[in-house]
Chain A
Amino acid sequence: MCAASLALSLVFSPFTAGAEEANATVEAQGATEPLPRNPTGGADAPAANDPDERRRLEEELARELATASPPPDAPIVPLAPGPKILPDISLIGTFAAAAFTEGPTLRFPAHEPVQNGPQLQEIELALQSNIDPFLRADIYFAISEGGLEVEEAYATTLSLPLNLQLRAGHFYAPFGRFNQTHFLEATPFVDMPLPNRRFFGGEQLRGTGAEGSVLLPLPFFLELRAAALTAGNEVSFGVPGDETENPTDLLGVARAMASFDLSDRLTLNAGASIANGPNATGGPLVTDANRTDVFGGDLYLRLRDRSSRAYTALQSEFLYRRATAPGGRVEQSGVYAWLVRRFDANWEAAVRGDFLPEGREVGHPELGGEIGTFLEPISQWRVGGAITWYATEFQRLRFQVNHDSGIRVEGVPAESGQEFFLQYQFVMGAHGAHPF
């Protein structure tokens, strides 16, 4: 049907053109041109691959058939009968046993171990598939003792022009490196770095919305991302999705990331991110006045060994938060750095240092509401080390020890403590990609 109407409009375009508006004459000329030169329409005719000709035809067809976007220029290879069309399904189970010398008071329930003894950290169920030739979708459910939540669920475009890509749904905000990773599955530790925990909370910075990104046409990799998401983060930001009324109630996030191959084996990634959104210090209705900015810089240096699974990587992020509350503002920064050494297919060791220097209050900010606790300019630091044994590609055992300084608030002595974790993880189903 579609092919027939296409052929008809080509053959009869001189006639149909006469019946259309004034500028149709121009179209008709364009349409008649190929016919005399290429009367048989044979595949070997030179005009078949003339890019100008092709573009003209595409434009003409878009006008005449009113197709907003051209169909893919190649047929999709049909699947052989037999295999069912199913998404890639994988399931990652993560369990931990924890011991805290001072009690787990420094942690809040989320996906980190939060109690003495064994516990389920998370079962992650991932469904990933192409939707059609233009979109793919990635859905991650996180099942923990608290129930089932949608960790991420988004669709990504595959074929936008100009190196653009759109993503829509529920996803981790494109801020820094750590925030965009499923940390239980993709980092060498059992827990989160302090600055990310402090500024973005146990669920990390994520929301429902859309993101546009572009890969710039440069000799090196430079990618820009910008997203607008619901801001119900409740740690630095605070308008839940169901209370959103104005565009300014949303969280805006932007990121630039560049990558350089310093040698065949050494790669440097550097990024800068910014997030701006409302906080709930003055109540949800005055979000234009009470806002939080978070600025971040991140570095990742990775040296791959020759002919081996082994690599060494250094990852560090700096975050700076400025939150305006009625009567003043709070400013605080934080930094973490980790060094990981993957020795071979089976062993890995990593050390991490997290540092939250004491922040400052400007004026007399009223840090009320639930969010207030998380905005207080406390100081804290933590160092830890982890060793991991990958029994196979599909299961691993990890032991981690932390020393935590405790939360230091002015006038209150901090209680430092040790934390011990033993973590077990298995992977079932589709082979996931190894994050770089």
Chain B
Amino acid sequence: MSIRFSAALLALLVAAPAAADVRVVASLPALGSIAREVVGSNGSVTVLAPAEQDPHFADGKPSMILALNRADVLFFAGLGLEAGWLPSIVTASRNAGIQPGRQGSIEAASMIPLLETGVKADRSLGDVHPGGNPHFWFDPRRVRTVAVAFGEKLAALDAKNAAAYRANAARFAAELDDRIPKWKASMAPYEGRSLVPFHKSLVYLEDWLGLRELGTIEPLPGIAPSPSHLAGLILRIRETKPAPLVVAEPWHNRRTAETVAEKGGVKFVRLPGDVGSVPGKDSYVAHMDELLGRLRAGLEGK
């Protein structure tokens, strides 16, 4: 009787109106994919920036203010990655709970060990993020840490569903624990190989997979490449054996990247944008499968 009653109550809770569910707004699709795993059926996840746009330069549209206004949680990368578009719409959202420092304002970068910290805060070094490199989601180990920590944050915020958040995060962590060695094994033949990315956005991927970075097409973050920089880069590409792979995300200038690859005599691979930019690859795991598949094909010389 009591079990049946509890079950009925549980069913009622699960089917409770949307207003009772946690509403998470994620600044970027990768964070949205983590949040979806952790939130599960206990709420909704809205992603602000489009998967095919550079996360530095999304448009802070009024419709995003509306989404932020109704959010219980804002989940963002931090380290100034979204500085060009997020802070002003957070202020305009009039939502006390997600203002900086509040419990509903959750910064992913604060949960993980960072790379490239302690960079001198000087714009002669380009558009640097002095607090560290923010593009952490290319490393599934860090994503695992973020997912578990995000689960704890949600649990503290919404104690009613705490167990569910923790269980969802644990299940996602287990899935990653299963995948990470497989992904790593699939990339093992290429350990020590070099990449030439457009922007300094792959340092976490390189750190995880033991890849090297020969240089970036941008001479410094956010600085357009000059012919002399590219010429130097191409000469180094030609000298490097085994052949490096030139890679660029969809928002970077494809022609420049292809030219560098062509003149360097190496392959170019267009990386997917953020999670969901490739149709059907909507989960973090599917996205990483796609990303690593493209990298393998490029490194194989296919």
* A residues neighboring B (CB under 8 Å): 43-44, 48-49, 72-77, 130, 133, 136, 156, 158-160, 163-165, 215, 220-221, 223, 257, 259-261, 264-265, 267, 269, 302, 304, 306-309, 311, 344-346, 392-394, 428, 431-436
Please state if B273 and A133 are interface contacts (CB–CB under 8 Å). Answer: no
Least distance between A226 CB and chain B CB atoms (Å): 15
Size of interface on B: residues with Cβ below 8 Å to A? 44
Q: Is the CB of B80 within 8 A of A72?
A: no
10 closest A-B pairs by beta carbon, nearest first, are A159-B96, A74-B103, A259-B62, A221-B62, A307-B250, A433-B88, A49-B159, A307-B52, A431-B83, A76-B101
Say yes or no for B61: interface residue by CB 8 A criterion.
yes
CA distance A436 to B60 in the complex (A): 6
Pairwise interchain contact B66-A436, C-beta atoms closer than 8 A: no
B36 to chain A, nearest CB (A): 19
Check if B94 sits within 8 Å of A160, measured CB to CB.
yes
Q: Are A215 and B224 in contact (CB under 8 A)?
A: no
Selected from A43, A431, A433, the residue in CB contact (under 8 A) with B60 is: A433
CB A265 to nearest CB in B, in angstroms, measures 8
Looking at A73, A133, A393, the one whose CB has the most chain B CB atoms below 10 A away is A393
Option from A215, A221, A267, A436 in Cβ contact (under 8 Å) with B94: A215
* Cβ-defined contact, B87 with A436, below 8 A: no
Closest to B157 in A: A74
Chain A, Cβ-Cβ closest to B277: A307
Cβ of A434 and Cβ of B84 under 8 Å apart? yes
Closest B residue, CB atoms, query A429: B123
- Whether, in the assembled complex, B85 has its beta carbon less than 8 Å from a beta carbon of chain A, the answer is yes
Whether A221 pairs with B63 at a CB distance below 8 angstroms is yes
User: Are B61 and A392 interface neighbours, CB within 8 A?
Assistant: no
B residues at A contact (CB < 8 Å): 50, 52-54, 57, 59-63, 65-66, 69, 80, 83-85, 87-88, 91-94, 96-97, 99-104, 123, 126-127, 158-160, 222-224, 250-251, 253, 273
The reply to whether B91 and A156 contact each other, CB–CB distance below 8 Å, is: yes
Q: Decide: A163 near B69, CB < 8 A? Known: A156-B91, A267-B61, A307-B53.
A: yes
The reply to whether B66 and A215 contact each other, CB–CB distance below 8 Å, is yes
Determine whether the beta carbon of A158 is less than 8 Å from that of B99: yes
- Determine whether the beta carbon of B224 is less than 8 Å from that of A220: no
Chain A nearest CB, measured from B17 CB (Å): 14
Extra contacts besides A158-B99, A344-B253, A432-B84 (6): CB < 8 Å: A44-B159, A74-B103, A302-B59, A304-B53, A304-B59, A431-B83
Q: A163 contacts B94, CB within 8 Å?
A: yes
A259 touching B61, Cβ below 8 Å:
yes
Q: Given the interface contacts A215-B65, A259-B63, does A431 sit within 8 Å of B99 by beta carbon?
A: no
Docked Cα-Cα span, A346 to B222, in Å, equals 11
Which chain B residue shows the least CB distance to A221? B62
Instruction: Verify A74–B53 contact, CB threshold 8 A.
Output: no
Partner of B85, one of A48, A76, A165, A433: A433
In the complex, are the beta carbons of A433 and B66 less than 8 A apart? no
Task: Please tell me which one of the listed residues A264, A311, A431, A435 contacts residue B50 in the complex, with CB atoms under 8 A apart.
Answer: A264
Cα–Cα distance between A302 and B93 once the two chains are bound (Å):
21
A302 to B63, CA, bound (A): 13
Residues in chain A near residue B88, CB distance under 8 A:
433, 435
Q: A261 to B61, alpha carbons, bound, how many Å?
A: 9
Give complex CA distance A309, B249 in Å. Answer: 13
Alpha-carbon separation in the docked complex, A366 to B102 (Å)? 57
Of the A-B pairs whose beta carbons lie under 8 Å apart in the complex, a sample of 13, sorted by A's number, is A74-B97, A74-B103, A76-B101, A130-B100, A133-B102, A163-B94, A164-B94, A265-B50, A304-B53, A307-B52, A433-B83, A433-B88, A434-B57
**Cα–Cα distance between A431 and B159 once the two chains are bound (Å):** 37
A136 touches B91 (CB 8 A): yes
Q: From B250, which residue of chain A is reached at the shortest CB distance?
A: A307
A359 to chain B, nearest CB (A): 34
